[in-house]
Amino acid sequence: MENQIKSPDPRPGAPPEYSSHFAPGPPGSAVPPPAGHPGGLPVGYYSPHQPTTFPLYMQTGGSYPIQYQPGKYPAPQHSAPIVWMPMPTVMPNCPPGLEYLAQLDNIHVLQHFEPLEMITGFETHNTYDIKNNLGQMVYFVTEDTDDYTRNAYRTLRPFVLRVTGCMGREIMTMQRPFRCTCCCFCCPSTRQELEVQCPPGVTIGFVAEHWNLCRAVYSIQNEKKEDMMGVLGPCSTYGCGSDSVFEVISLDGVSSIGSITRKWNGVLSAMSDADHFEIHFPLDLDVTMKAMIFGACFLIDFMYFESSPPQRSSTHN
């Protein structure tokens, strides 16, 4: 089913009626796939519902050609060879698809550059490559929203992000509901939140914003909405020529667990929203918490780096 948005409410500032087949899943951990299942992925996974939106994957030796949607960047005339990270073995007590994260202590989130956005200002859906330090593809992430929602609500838009693996199957889903920030920015009902499901339909946690006058503050929660870690952003995310570091800390604020760093990409960072994030976490950190830090990166991206600097300052100040 494709997401559809009903006719907008004639009242000014009315939130979008964003309907989706995505539904909050029951709390708890995912059950590992049955032994011997091909590819180590569980029965019940489905291929992306919009084949033209997702890359087409074909196994050929040690690399997997990837074909992007026409008009997307990069836009090669033929399929570009993309080397994927070797598929890990199934691990006990690990949600299917997160075995990759269990082997890594850092990942790179690379947003695709969209010339159409820079030239026309028309907001297109975001796509990201997730890679390891060797440049091998780990995941592919695609935003699932309609044109009206993206361009009417911009950085405040509700969205569903679909995380797919090398076989093109959805292994993780992230959803951000609509929250209006125009009434009272310190009201709990206006604070941003991201739900993470892995596998789709099973909630593993939430990323919740906390109001702070000076800096970005988030809590990373488990499926019961119990705080597990905190995220502290810099006092200013709009500086030119330097990285923006969001530190992942323990609940007591004493220990540093990891970081989410938005890398400065020179002209691209100044003129577009094609961001590059580098995420660090301990190698032995619980894999679901790694997935939650991974999810926090996307909420941070949409809230602070989705628009050009002048637009961001007018939106969030």
The reported pLDDT for the residue numbered 117 is 66
Distance set, CA 14 to CA 10, 124, 153 (Å): 8, 22, 11
Express each pLDDT in 180-191 by its tens digit. 665 555 555 568
Q: What is the DSSP letter of 61?
A: T
Asked if 128 and 141 touch (Cβ cutoff 8 Å), the reply is yes
How many CB atoms are closer than 10 A to CB 52? 8
Give residue-wise pLDDT tens across range 64-85: 444 444 444 444 445 568 899 9
Given a cut of 90, is residue 101 above it in pLDDT? Answer: yes
User: What is the torsion angle, in degrees rounded to the nearest 10, for the CA atoms of residue 288, residue 180, residue 303 and residue 238?
Assistant: -150
**Residue matched to tokens 């598929």:** 87
Counting residues of the chain whose pLDDT is more than 90, the rounded percentage is 39
pLDDT for the residue 7: 45
- Using the predicted structure, report yes or no on whether residue 40 has a pLDDT greater than 50: no
Q: Which has more pLDDT, 44 or 97?
A: 97
Percent of the chain exceeding pLDDT 70 equals 62
Residues 241-293 have pLDDT tens digits of 688 999 999 998 889 999 999 988 765 545 555 689 999 999 999 999 999 99
Beta strand 127-131 with 227-232: parallel, antiparallel or unpaired? unpaired
- 94: pLDDT strictly greater than 80: yes
pLDDT band at 239 (very low <50, low <70, confident <90, very high): low
CA distance 27 to 13: 33
Dmax (CA) for the chain in angstroms is 56
Q: Which of 15-24, 34-43, 75-84, 266-275 has the highest mean pLDDT?
A: 75-84
The number of CA neighbours under 13 Å toward the Cβ of 71 is 7
Beta bridge partners of 4: 19
Whether the model clears a pTM of 0.85, i.e. scores above it, the answer is no
Mean pLDDT, rounded, for 206-219: 89
d(CA 272, CA 124): 12
Q: Token pair of 140, please?
A: 């592919």
Query: Which one has a higher pLDDT value, 138 or 151?
Result: 138
Q: Which residue has the higher pLDDT, 21 or 127?
A: 127
Q: Closest Cα partner for 206 from 218, 195, 217, 219?
A: 195
The answer to whether 82 touches 191, Cβ cutoff 8 Å, is no
Convert the pLDDT of each residue in 1-14 to its tens digit: 444 444 444 444 55
